[in-house]
Amino acid sequence: IAMAPSSLELFYFPIRGRGDLPRSLMIDGGLEFTEARIPKGEQWLARKPEFVFGQMPVLRLDGSRDIAQSHAIARYLAKLTNPSLLGDTIDEAANVDMWYYQTDDVYMSVIGPFYRAFDTIEQLFNDKWTSWMAPFEKALSCSEYLANGKLSLADYHLFDIAEVMLHFKPQLLEQTPRVRAHRDRMAARPGIAKFLEYVKGLPFTNSGHL
């Protein structure tokens, strides 16, 4: 592990959402951190100008240095805890990035309708889930991991997606058995088990639907 800051503080809403990836990386990576959960509404509006882009999550280092943007936070934490999560060569790094950003595209396709189109979400998921997951099912037919035959940042983010579907429409997750098995392997990691206990009871979104 690289030299960690003396303190890490995560700022996010009291939901899982974009907070799950940094939380899981820190807990699975053995990092101590604190968390400020700021509810939307007046409390968030009062604190919004404090953050460089007026959005969360934000990771504060040593009480004074902020990292904003989800991907920047995730990559920083991967480098801090286990740089191999980002790939050990330039080719491996490109492969990790390829799968990580594809995973994020799908993550946004899954999360977005909870806020914008909940009335049609079940039909959307019924129509799209297996096609969204097809590349992941294919990759996981050759390896337990998405990239380079070893654990990477992309695996943590795929776990995020599977967790959403497990809690919303578990029967759809069962239609993609390799993604489901990948989720279960990740959940069996002691650090991820601790993470799941840490977020237990938090809603996934601010939408009121999950």
Mind giving me the DSSP string for 160-205?
HHHHHHHHH-HHHHTTSHHHHHHHHHHHTSHHHHHHHHHTTT--S-
Dist CA 91 CA 107 (whole Å): 24
Q: Nearest 5°: phi and psi at 127? A: -80, -35
Dist CA 69 CA 57 (whole Å): 7
Averages of pLDDT over each 10 residues, the chain, 210 residues: 86 98 98 97 97 98 97 98 98 98 98 95 97 98 98 98 97 97 98 98 96
Tell me what pLDDT residue 3 has: 76
Tell me what pLDDT residue 1 has: 53
Residue 46 token pair: 């009062």
Distance of CA 146 to the CA centre of its chain: 15
Tell me what pLDDT residue 135 has: 98
Tell me what pLDDT residue 182 has: 98
Q: Nearest 5°: phi and psi at 33? A: -155, 160
Tell me what pLDDT residue 103 has: 98
CATH for 8-83+194-198, options being 3.60.110.10, 3.40.30.10, 3.30.300.30, 3.40.50.12780: 3.40.30.10
Query: How is the chain split into domains, by residue range?
Result: 8-83+194-198, 85-189
CATH for 85-189, options being 3.50.50.60, 1.10.3720.10, 1.20.1050.10, 2.60.40.10: 1.20.1050.10
Tell me what pLDDT residue 2 has: 63
